[in-house]
């Protein structure tokens, strides 16, 4: 038990350090990866019929997506920001449905959408570095 607590504490410190030293762009990338990580856990929970973990990980995924939506600059972001806001809303509704139906296919649909956004986001980062 003690070793698990120490590991969890270390992971929290490592995450906090990474966040403190990140640019806004890399923070969004980390949030997108966080959603993917949570959805992978949710998929496993659905497959194991672990109702508690399914609910927790899907709720955490929705919370991260909601934070991504809240970070959008709608007035200055134009149609891209508006489109992302609508897409994030759609994904949240689909995840609520995935949770209520215990449906891996819906989770996979959201994973595909997040992967597309993350891929585009990471491309922006690569182009800015050039």
pLDDT tens digits for range 94-103 = 999 999 999 9
| Cβ neighbours, 10 Å, residue 109 | 16
Q: What is the pTM of this model?
A: 0.82
DSSP annotation of 102 reads: T
Q: What is the pLDDT of residues 68-102, one digit of tens each?
A: 999 999 999 999 999 999 999 999 999 999 999 99
Supply the mean pLDDT for the chain.
Answer: 86
For 76-106, give one letter per residue: b (16+ CB within 10 A) or e: eeeeebeebbebbeebbebbeebbeebebeb
- Pick from 55, 25, 32, 24: which is nearest to 42 by CA? 55
């Amino acid at each position: 038990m003690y070793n698990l607590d120490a590991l969890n504490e270390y992971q929290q410190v490592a995450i906090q350090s990474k966040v403190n030293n990140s640019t806004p762009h890399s923070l969004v990338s980390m949030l997108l990866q966080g959603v993917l990580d949570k959805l992978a856990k949710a998929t496993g929970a659905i497959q194991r019929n672990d109702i508690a973990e399914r609910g927790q990980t899907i709720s955490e995924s929705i919370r991260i997506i909601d934070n991504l939506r809240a970070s959008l600059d709608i007035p200055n972001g134009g149609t891209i920001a508006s489109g992302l806001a609508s897409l994030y809303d759609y994904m949240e509704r689909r995840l609520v449905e995935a949770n209520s139906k215990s449906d891996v296919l819906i989770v996979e649909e959201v994973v595909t959408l997040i992967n597309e956004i993350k891929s585009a986001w990471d491309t922006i980062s690569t182009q800015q570095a050039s």
